[in-house]
Structure 1
């Protein structure tokens, strides 16, 4: 089963490129590289020598499945825009009959391709596998915090510093949970801002094109009145599928709440006063698990569909 999963992930790497390209162009090109570089973790029998490797394997597989599923949704979304472009282009560019026929055939293939991809992704249960893999990875990530919290209850003086280290190790630093949520909030916010800018530009160009058509009957104006608005409509459709707005708000809220806990634990560490440490740890764990549940709810609503 693992070998089949590994092969399937590698065969569907195109969808991962689609998702990463969209997030890089619309979000922030510095956030992630477009080319997936984690194939080593997707081997059927990866070399696992520590708990960190176990988490890395689980995280890489969950990330791969998520990028495949969401990338398929991005690709299907823009197939609709492509079909519209192929329909309008012959008239807008005054193509000869031969090129018009080519565009017509290509449009039929594009329209047929979209439901085929959606059926393939749904029938292989990529979304269900992705959600299950991500839940498993997050449980592995938060498990040390839960265990340290339970140990503190049995031996408060012995395990206080260990629990502090676990909390700060999970929340602090450039690779900590707070920094991660802030980066994701920034990335999603940039996507929303760029989509808003594109919407304003599309409105202005379509208005200009419509006004120009009143005095100039030029087919090329269809680029302004139809193609550009269609592309922006595709952006809104993809953002809706990816739940960009919801994820932006969830990451902003979670980063703020976890940062408050992190500052409380830092004060406890400086003052060597550990009263309320177990409560802070439990609160952090609950925030992370509740946040994960909210993510699951959002992810389950993401459906690659055409009709």
Structure 2
């Protein structure tokens, strides 16, 4: 990292937070990594992890510098990243499924930073002074945007709560009346996939998963069950012919438990709405 001299520094408002940026004697603009991390909503541990990744990345390390900037503790050496490298760094912060589920606010902030932070910081060092009217208009637009973000966050929270409640109901399915409910769930999955031939495909997928997990062959068990019933001579042949793989599963407590777990996993994976299936 080269030693540079700061010739101009600014605290730039962005997306409801503030970013510290500086212009150096080589004409480049740098953003303080910690301020960006805090603006996104990263924890202290996540910020420290990102600092290590930036310093170790073969490309990003070419765009960082330690600049003397003001902090709460006075003038200190601060890790900064050149604006040209800022989008690349932010793009390398992965948005994982768990992050989307547990921290939707942070995900939304990260996306905003990935798309707009560089341009806002660059504009702060080149734009002409704004009139009082323009400043008031910007403040109004910022307030409107923040209200919109708050509303979107509320809607996201409601969706997550509803999804969590839905998952809770799915997990609560019990072995006492599982057959109609699992059938209804699998039908919902098939409809979500487009219907028609998917009804057969989804059902077969559930059986394939069961056979793989339980180390069993449902066709063999079904044939054996039919043979035993015919040999006993108690059940009419017409009824025996209607025996299904679900009957085989129902005959074995272990298979029933495993099959229920599989259907629950499929329901959660496809975000099936179980409303109307009953308790």
- Normalised by the length of structure 1, the TM-score is 0.27
Query: Going by fraction, where is helix more abundant, 1 or 2?
Result: 1
- Normalised by the length of structure 2, the TM-score is 0.28
Higher relative contact order (CA 8 A, sep 6+): 1
Larger radius of gyration: 2
Query: Going by fraction, where is strand more abundant, 1 or 2?
Result: 2
